[in-house]
Amino acid sequence: MREKGFESLSTLSHMNSKSKQILKEILNKIFGKIFEAIADPSTKLINGLCVDYVDLPQKIKEILLPLTSELKDLNETLDSKEFIDACMQLYKLLSLDHRNYLIEWYFINFKKKPNNTNENTNFTFKVIIQ
């Protein structure tokens, strides 16, 4: 089942459907984490008039500015699903630098590292020519 409009989410037209699905899942997690950081804890909603950006880096605030400005201008309120959908639309318009920043920010701050105590997985080998 293809999701309407998602095929243009990435600028990579050669991206296969599995890669698109992985990207969509990552973006859902990213925008979900952003929503958790800025939503009103009591209502689990965001409103353009009172968005709490305290826990977000400046670059994320810049990325969200078109969306939050529209929320403020229209005095709209969004739940988590609506916010994620709006961010997916916004993502289509972002520069490559901003897209990369979102993904790096998520992986640096929220992606758990494996519990492998031996982090050095490099192997050294020698080729002997006789």
Any idea where the domains of the chain sit in the sequence? 56-108
Q: What is the pLDDT of residues 34-68, one digit of tens each?
A: 999 888 888 899 987 777 677 789 999 999 999 98
Residue 98 structure tokens = 């901003």
Task: Report the predicted TM-score, pTM, of the whole model to 2 decimal places.
Answer: 0.73
Instruction: Give how far Cα 71 sits from Cα of 74, 83, 86, 102, 129, Å.
Output: 5, 10, 11, 21, 68
**Placement of tokens 């952003």 in the chain:** 34
Using a 10 angstrom Cβ sphere, with 0-12 exposed, 13-18 middle and 19 or more buried, the burial of residue 119 is exposed
Pairing of strands 77-78, 46-47: antiparallel
Q: Could you give the CA distance from residue 81 to residue 16 in angstroms, rounded to a whole number? A: 25
Q: Tell me if 102 sits within 8 A of 30, measured CB to CB.
A: yes
Residue 17 structure tokens = 């459907």
Residue 54 structure tokens = 């305290």
Q: What is the pLDDT of residues 90-130, one digit of tens each?
A: 999 999 999 999 999 999 988 765 555 444 555 555 555 55
